[in-house]
Structure 1
């Protein structure tokens, strides 16, 4: 059956004020998407960041030299370090790291209007509570309509206008469709999903698996091993998503297989590069210090395992990553233990 084209109106006919909260690489790229050369909506885009010096640079140079050096950003982006400036926003994209989301969203609670849609763009699980980003946002931003933006995205490529497809997931199909029309362009193409839970779990687990794939590369274990790890990692991801009530089609889509493949095969991925450093012999502290940003998979490893235990799901690859990055397990012994596991039938129930 052919897919029906998406038909929906944008969030508002009048120009919209879009708040992008988080001035890292991904936040800056999304701000550019919202008002870049392919958008003719006239929407106002406010990009918030804590670093006043970076904010001043963004406004003066229309570039983010700390996270996207050499990539020009839309001159229409207005950067600010004051959350109060976001009070007029009709749409909010939350793009801060997963472990900072509760704090920043809590500060936004008294700023955003109660009916403003919030799109969660961070991939991860809150380490302290084990909650997904939608669960955290529902607690600290009650009543706001929520959606999840996920999929195979490197910020630098998005900011350069290279073709990118993403998953836009929400339990409210009308909201997701209107968000897709508001945010989408010729090169930034949202595909709708009604499974935000599956998209979130996939986005968190793929970061853990990317560390494992990086270790395989750093240890020079070969392309066969990496392909096997991606495939068996997808099986682990699938078991957890299905146990939580997510949908199998999410796993075969952009938020599942698409994001997993990208993150597990490219050095642009912080989690993959972190794993490569570990595989080459760096200790965890040195690998973290060398990272270009937050290695979210390190936090998600422990939180993923805690969730898996609650739902009685076995995740041997994720467990191995957690043992290495959070508990000091020796790399060679951990790999040997994985290879010594009993032979099993292939399938998500294996």
Structure 2
């Protein structure tokens, strides 16, 4: 790689997705530093060059650096990729603030790689970042992209959303290679709503699988799920077309269908009769759909959007309702027209 194309990149978060993106970026020839809050995790990463617990078998190059010092992770970087659980986004960005450049020209591009909605504020992650770092250059990277496959250099296609085209094209060029294809979009909000809500729908898909429903139910659930996502996203200001793209139907299909999906795996356990806490403990990874479910339901009420699947997930997760009861209620809801644009 030519010297002027090589970027200094800080990855904030050393979970499976953070490691997978570090693999992509280091393969592309960039100077990569990964931050973890845990000194023990950093020591293991330095020793074994992989996250043996969350992404075993994906070895990172010797050039990749690891640190639990936020100043080292942030200072002098041209791009910062935030890859942390949504519930910890705000507190982590607060840790970054003292080390961000004061001069606007020196500000790094911040790539939000986290899918979720903050429950207390109902903000998507890019808005949480901007709330703590006003005026920063924020964009979002999302799409159907299991870390397990990206870390094996299996073909993957995602989308970068940004407020301006130059930022989107910069991030596209930095991340894209012959196994990691990147599209660009101006619809940041639509991308983030799709990314967060698909995790909630994937929980529903998993519950259906665990309860023993068939392919007919799964197909209907995915189809009605994308309808709910699009209705809310458009009401909030997103573009309808975004939900038929990579961060909408693309991400929803892969999350509802794959056993790589921690949301689907947790849902399967819940459908089999385990509690939410038992399911999360067994999956042993962050289940973002659990954190986004309440926020999604609150947004549906705020914007007066009917989202029966999201409501059903909330009732099962937080109200102690049995999956069978909720499934039956969904099936006997009032009769509806599928396409409300029909002229009769």
Shorter-chain TM-score: what band?
A: over 0.9
Shift of 1:71: 2.2
Q: 1:23 aligns with which of 11, 14, 39?
A: 14
Aligned-pair CA distance for 1:158: 0.6
Q: Is the 8 A contact 2:124 2:193 kept in 1?
A: yes
Structure 2 distance, partners of 1:76, 1:32, is 11
Give the 3-state SS of the residue equivalent to 2:91 in structure 1: helix
Aligned twin of 2:218: 226
Query: Residues 235 and 347 of structure 1 are in contact (CA less than 8 Å); yes or no, is this contact kept in structure 2?
Result: no
- Per-residue CA deviation, residues 265-306 of structure 1 (Å, 9 max, x unaligned), is 111101100100011111222111111311111111110111
Tell me the secondary structure at the aligned position of residue 278 of structure 2.
helix
How big is the shift at 1:225?
A: 0.3
Contact 1:235 1:348 in 2 (8 A): no
TM-score (norm 2): 0.95
Is the 8 Å Cα contact of residues 10 and 35 (structure 2) preserved in structure 1? yes
Question: Of 57, 65, 72, which aligns to 2:59?
Answer: 72
Correspondent of 2:159 among 144, 155, 167: 167
Larger helix percent:
2
Q: Per the alignment, in what secondary structure is the counterpart of residue 74 of structure 1?
A: coil
Superimposed CA distance per residue, residues 109-155 of structure 1 (whole angstroms, 9 cap, x where no aligned partner): 11122521100000000012111111101111112111000000100
CA contact (8 A) 1:106 1:140 kept: yes
Structure 2 partner of 1:195? 187
- Work out the CA distance in 1 between the residues paired with 2:339 and 2:188: 24
Partner of 1:45: 32
Q: CA deviation at 1:160?
A: 1.0
TM-score (norm 1): 0.93
> Cα RMSD over matched residues?
1.5
Task: Verify: 1:96 aligned to 2:84, yes or no.
Answer: yes
1:150 to 2:142 alignment: yes
Is 1:341 the counterpart of 2:333? The answer is yes
Q: CA deviation at 1:330?
A: 2.1
**1:295-310 superposed matches below 5 A:** 295-310=287-302
Correspondence for 1:276 among 245, 257, 268: 268
Number of residue pairs aligned between Structure 1 and Structure 2: 336
Give the corresponding residue for 1:32.
Answer: 23
Contact 1:239 1:349 in 2 (8 A): no
CA contact (8 A) 1:298 1:326 kept: no
Matches within 5 A, 1:249-268: 249-268=241-260
C-alpha separation in 2, matches of 1:348 and 1:287: 37
Q: C-alpha offsets along residues 22-70 of structure 1, whole Å, 9 cap, x if unaligned?
A: 000000111111112xx2x4x2100000121221121222111021112
SS in 2 for 1:175: helix
Shift of 1:14: 5.6
| Conserved 8 A contact 2:211-2:323 | no
Using the alignment, how far apart are the partners of 1:349 and 1:328 within structure 2? 37
Q: 1:97 to 1:19 in 2, by over 3 A?
A: same
Q: Which ranges in structure 2 are unaligned for 5 or more consecutive residues?
A: none
1:107 and 2:95 correspond: yes
- Unmatched tracts of structure 1, length 5 or more: 1-9
Q: Does 1:317 align with 2:314?
A: no
